[in-house]
Amino acid sequence: MATYPGNASLSSAVKDRVLTTFQQTLEIYKQGRAAEVVEGCTLILRMDPMFDPAKKL
């Protein structure tokens, strides 16, 4: 299993939600919808402020 790139002490449900939201945000990014990408990353970082991929996107 891959290492979760954020706060590992979060519940599995929260980590799953963060990962799902990040995958959706990546799809939006590929479509060039920048404002929605910012919204997605903001939501992700509210759920897990340590989630580095959202900081780098």
User: What range does the domain containing 49 cover?
Assistant: 12-56
Using CA atoms, how far residue 22 sits from 27, 30, 44, 51, in Å, is 9, 12, 7, 10
Instruction: Produce one character per residue of 10-34: b if its CB has 16 or more CB atoms within 10 Å, e if not.
Output: beeeebebbbebbeebeebeeeeee
pLDDT of 35 reads 97
Percent over 90 (pLDDT), the chain: 95
- Residue 50 placed within a domain: yes
Q: Does position 17 have pLDDT exceeding 60, yes or no?
A: yes
- Residue 28 placed within a domain: yes
pLDDT of 1 reads 52
Q: Does position 2 have pLDDT exceeding 70, yes or no?
A: yes
pTM: 0.91
In the chain, the number of structural domains is: 1
The mean per-residue pLDDT over the stretch 12-36 comes to 98
Crossing angle of helices 34-47 and 12-30, in 10° steps, is 170
